[in-house]
Structure 1
Amino acid sequence: MKLNKIHHIAIICSDYERSRDFYVNILGLEVLEETYREERNSYKLDLMVGGEYQVELFSFPESPERISYPEARGLRHLAFEVEDIEAVAAELNNHNVQVEPIRIDPVTGKKFSFFADPDGLPLELYEK
């Protein structure tokens, strides 16, 4: 078996407009397509990260909360590679997004930090 790359990551949000604003206007992901599916009362927003990887943002009425902390099974976090972690963290802080203190990965020696989307989904910044 040969897997080429990650095709997309799907995220279900509780407040579509708030999450759309966060991923598009704060994180700067590019909108590829936005679809309203009337039969499901649901939006599907296709987003591009760095011109390559796709994130799908979904809304569903009354979706249940997912346990995230402590270390529950399932997707742990979504990590974004950045050139300058201090600059990105400062920009997020300017948008009132709290970013944890920057740490050093003991294995790679690279800088990383965590923050959360509007639903508390853990997101990571990882310096290239």
Structure 2
Amino acid sequence: MKIQGIHHVAIICSDYQKSKSFYTDIIGFEVMAEVYREERASYKLDLSLNGSYSIELFSFPDPPKRVSRPEASGLRHIAFSVTDIQSAYEELVENEVQAEPIRIDEFTNKRFFFIFDPDGLPIEFYESAQ
């Protein structure tokens, strides 16, 4: 098997409109397709970043809460690379997103910080090479 890359990340949210706004208006993903699946009482929103399919955002009636803290087994977080970590931080704070302080990765010396989506999913912003 030869894996070519990650196709997408699927996220289940508890408040569809709030999460849709967060991922599009604040984070900057573009809507590729939006479908309401009546038989599942669920929305499926396909989001892209720089023209590449990236996130499937789902809504389901009353999804169970995800354990995030203390850290539990399973997927820990998603991470986005940015060339200007300070600008990304400031833009999120200007949009009233609470962000943890910028830290330095002890192994790569790159800067990074975390925010949380409307359901508490940890999202990391990581400084990429310029």
TM-score range, shorter chain: over 0.9
Deviation at 1:52, TM superposition (A): 2.4
Match for 2:35: what amino acid? T
Greater shift, 48-57 or 21-30, is seen at: 48-57
Match for 1:112: what amino acid? F
Deviation at 1:83, TM superposition (A): 1.0
Match for 2:84: what amino acid? D
**Deviant stretches of 4+, over 4 Å:** none
Aligned 1:1-128 pairs, distance under 5 A: 1-128=1-128
Check whether the contact 1:6–1:53 (CA below 8 A) recurs between aligned residues. Answer: no
Deviation at 1:51, TM superposition (A): 2.3
Match for 2:37: what amino acid? R
SS of 2:107's equivalent in the other structure is coil
SS of 1:112's equivalent in the other structure is strand
Long gaps (5+) in structure 1: none
Deviation at 1:53, TM superposition (A): 4.4
| CA deviation map 1:27-63 (0-9, x unaligned) | 0101110010011110000001232241000000010
Match for 1:32: what amino acid? M
When the two structures are superposed, what TM-score results if normalisation uses the length of structure 2?
0.96
Long gaps (5+) in structure 2: none
Match for 2:96: what amino acid? N
Provide the rounded CA distance (Å) in 1 between the counterparts of 2:127 and 2:53. Answer: 17
Q: CA RMSD in A?
A: 0.8
Provide the rounded CA distance (Å) in 2 between the counterparts of 1:79 and 1:51. Answer: 18
Provide the rounded CA distance (Å) in 2 between the counterparts of 1:21 and 1:53. Answer: 18
